[in-house]
Amino acid sequence: MVTRTLVVLIIAGIGTYLLRASLIVAFGRASVPAGVERVSRFVAPAVLAAIIAPALAAPEGRIDLFDLRLVAAVPATLVAVRTGSLAVTLAAGLGSYLLLDLLI
Amino acid sequence: MAMKRDPASPRGAARPYRRGTTDALPLVLGYLPFALVLGATIARSEVPNLVGWLSSPLLFAGASQLAAIDLLDAGASVLVILATVWVINLRHVMYSGALAPRFLNSSRRWQWLAPYFLADPVYTLSAVRFDDYPRPADQRRYYLGLGLTLWTAWNLMTGAGLLVGTVLPPSWPLELAVPFTFLALLVPTVTDRPTLLAAAVGGVVAVAAHAAPFHLGLLIGAAAGIGAGLLSEVGLARASGSPRW
């Protein structure tokens, strides 16, 4: 059991590492296709939003647009835009959620 | 994160390795609750503590570690576990492609070493901060400072989660720290209308596809967002009469 679990995690880890290395290594010797450079500036906004949105709008596996998590994201976003500070954004988001949870 | 440029520095920005480590500190704070949840999940599961903890240095990718522990605990088949982990982490191919131009002239050794640290915040912050460092050597120093600090903290914090995570009250919204951390990372990447559209479409489509198997909703949303961003860029270029391709 222990060996099997460890082997699964090692293979999963090697695969994850290879996914991360893939294009850095593949393009590393020659040049990067123009299309990849055009796409690259959309990677962070699209991927991050795709991670965040379901965690806030469908946290229990069902879509709930009035979930307090999503409501708390509004002040958190405003604070993030205004301050650019990760710590303050985190405090604003978690603080708003806890406050809303307390009040409602 | 909100560090100002240091005018005394010859390159107009703080020393890169040092700045990478200081940029990592608020991220460590944001990841702490998630690390504790992961550690507690390992401690409560059938997976032996040490083996479960090793997923941190082996994967260095929290969401996929959590999924792997859950599936191992539930006795899922090896294929299902590997497929789930790899689909969750497929987004790293996009990070790899987006960073490839930056590491084009780096040594082969660096091109194989750097990807090991290529977690979400390492990519996102590097993409924003590299513009402050025109020299590739400084970009590598920044990346290493950020990556090493986060990697060390992640291993320590998931270890701490094994020990103390199970005593935390389940009512604490610990899992919320990650989306709010990512929100702070997202904001500086939205710089114009096409990137705003990429984020909006990526988010909406990911929510609509949240029930897709193997956590595919993330990839569907990300692909839709990138496509929307590209399309709007083309549309804007047409509208202003200056085609870019």
Q: What interface predicted TM-score (ipTM) does this complex get?
A: 0.90
Q: How confident is the model over B197-214, as pLDDT tens digits?
A: 999 999 999 999 999 988
Nearest CB among A25, A48, A56 relative to B185 is that of A48
The answer to whether the pTM exceeds 0.90 is: no
- Averaged pLDDT for residues A56-64: 91
Give the percent of chain B with pLDDT over 70.
93
Within the 20-79 window of chain B, which residues sit less than 8 Å (CB to CB) from chain A? 26-27, 29-30, 47-48, 51, 54-55, 58-61, 63-64, 68, 72, 78
Q: Which helix (H) or strand (E) holds B156?
A: helix B136-164
Query: Helices B193-208 and B216-239 sit at what angle, rounded to 10 degrees?
Result: 150
Nearest CB among B115, B123, B184 relative to A86 is that of B184
For chain A, state the CA radius of gyration.
Answer: 20
The one-letter amino acid at B102: R
- Per-residue pLDDT at A28 exceeds 60: yes
Verify whether the Cβ–Cβ distance A101 to B173 is below 8 Å. Answer: yes
Q: What is the pLDDT of residue A29?
A: 83
- Per-residue pLDDT at B173 exceeds 90: no
Chain A residues whose CB is inside 8 A of the B106 CB are 28
Q: What is the pLDDT of residue B237?
A: 82
Verify whether the Cβ–Cβ distance A89 to B180 is below 8 Å. Answer: yes
Q: How confident is the model over B91-115, as pLDDT tens digits?
A: 999 999 999 999 998 999 999 999 9
CA angle B78/B79/B85 to nearest 5° reads: 90
Q: What is the pLDDT of residue B2?
A: 47
